DNA sequence: CGTCTATTTGAATGTACTCAAAAGCGGTGG
DNA sequence: CCACCGCTTTTGAGTACATTCAAATAGACG
């Protein structure tokens, strides 16, 4: 039942059967219902989570109580408040399920042990975090240089699967505009 | 002369003298004058660069020919177009020196070999990229939730050294506003 | 000094936001 | 099957934050 994760890992490194078993010992499956929180702002993030099924949002609650979506996660994505996880300090973000969701989780301490027992995992996580960082930089550049309309089109192009699964007001938050304005933008696009 | 880099690495992993020598074989020192490009948009980024002295900006040129600063780098920081480097594809960004600059560079191929010869380096780069990713996410969140004035104060707080070294219009670009508006914001702040 | 670059100022404009209300839509229960 | 409820999306008026463009001023450097 860890196959989806092993398949995913196989894109980056090769694991022997023994290594897979070793890793499996530290993997925990957990089911969440729509609306449940995997991480709560202020708590310490204890796991790295791989999504088997479902969808989640990572968001920040600002001083005015407004929600800002910084990430989505669906099947075969990782999610966590990485800042909280790596420094074991209080989380800046909430991670909440948008659908019923099934995760494979690795606890912080177990991950540290796994790095020692299976140094290959350092390579695996290095590579996927490099990719995440690159996407993150691209998002910053696009937030700086594109208009709301362009950012929306960009989002649709890059994450068509997500666009169909999450409510529009969360997409608005993700691309950095209000839900009302996204509605206006969509109207403009429709009449072109 | 590689000491600053070894000191930096020592914050994350321990290297023996032999390992340092092995690494040193792949390190290249290079000096650039103010204004020179280390990476040019469209070229393939060939090195990871560690800054010994000087300062650099990483920026993207958009369709309208406008510059958008996505990163700065000063002493003890790394710089590159990581997206281009890891996929050896054309760079989205330019990396240009803001001052006369001295770098230690590791070529892409050498880095791949080093990962094999010194697996510890996987750990090292995993850790520093994790941190870079976390900063990047924070910047996205702050771009989404803060006003121009708040972002400017935030920048000053987090990067006081940079604020004093780079022209104001580049800071404006970094925080996502025009140079004129930053000037206005600074005026408002001064009269408070 | 004179030139080049960087910063400031101001007026007109625009993109996106706020607030309020209406409309749409999906599910649930009577 | 329809009525109602909660949640999401739309619409519109008024506003604000930030931009554009143009010109003036200030700084840095030879």
Question: Which nucleotide is nearest, taking the CA of residue B186 and each C1'?
Answer: C8
- Average pLDDT over chain B reads 96
| Cβ-proximal residues to A122 (8 Å cutoff; 6+ apart), any chain | A115, B119, B122, B123, B126
Question: Which nucleotide is nearest, taking the CA of residue B170 and each C1'?
Answer: C6
Q: Is B127 helix (H, G, I), strand (E, B) or coil?
A: helix
Q: What is the pLDDT of residues B53-84, one digit of tens each?
A: 999 999 999 888 899 999 999 999 999 999 99
pLDDT interval class at A117 (50, 70, 90) = very high
Q: Is A106 helix (H, G, I), strand (E, B) or coil?
A: strand
Residue A166 has pLDDT above 80, yes or no: yes
Q: Residue B82's closest chain A neighbor by CA?
A: A134
Cβ contacts of A125 on chain B, cutoff 8 Å: 126
Any atom of strand D under 7 A from CB of A187? yes
Pick from B130, B86, B127, B121: nearest CA to B6: B121
CB contact under 8 A, A144 and B82: no
Counted residue by residue, chain B has a size of: 192
Q: Report residues 169-188 of B contacting strand D, contact meaning Cβ closer than 7 Å.
A: 176-178, 180-181, 184
Chain D nucleotides covered by protein, CB below 7 Å? 7-13, 17-22
Q: What is the pLDDT of residues B144-187, one digit of tens each?
A: 889 999 999 999 999 999 999 999 999 999 999 999 999 999 99
CA distance B19 to chain A (A): 17
């Amino acid at each position: 039942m860890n196959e989806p994760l092993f398949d995913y890992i196989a894109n980056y490194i090769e694991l022997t059967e023994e290594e897979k078993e070793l890793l499996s010992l530290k993997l925990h499956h957990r089911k969440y219902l729509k609306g449940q929180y995997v991480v709560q702002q202020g708590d310490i993030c204890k796991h790295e989570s791989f999504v088997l099924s479902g969808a989640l949002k990572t968001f920040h609650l600002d001083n005015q109580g407004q929600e800002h979506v910084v990430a989505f996660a669906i099947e075969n994505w990782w999610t966590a408040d990485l800042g909280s996880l790596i420094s074991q300090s209080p989380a800046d973000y909430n991670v909440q399920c948008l659908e019923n969701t099934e995760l494979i989780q690795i606890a912080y301490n177990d991950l540290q042990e796994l790095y020692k027992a299976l140094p290959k995992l350092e390579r695996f996580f290095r590579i996927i975090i490099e990719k995440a960082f690159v996407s993150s930089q691209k998002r910053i550049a696009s937030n700086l240089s594109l208009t709301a309309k362009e950012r929306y089109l960009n989002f649709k192009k890059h994450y068509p699967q997500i666009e169909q699964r999450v409510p529009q007001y969360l997409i608005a938050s993700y691309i950095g505009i209000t839900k009302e304005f996204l509605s206006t933008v969509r109207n403009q696009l429709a009449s072109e």
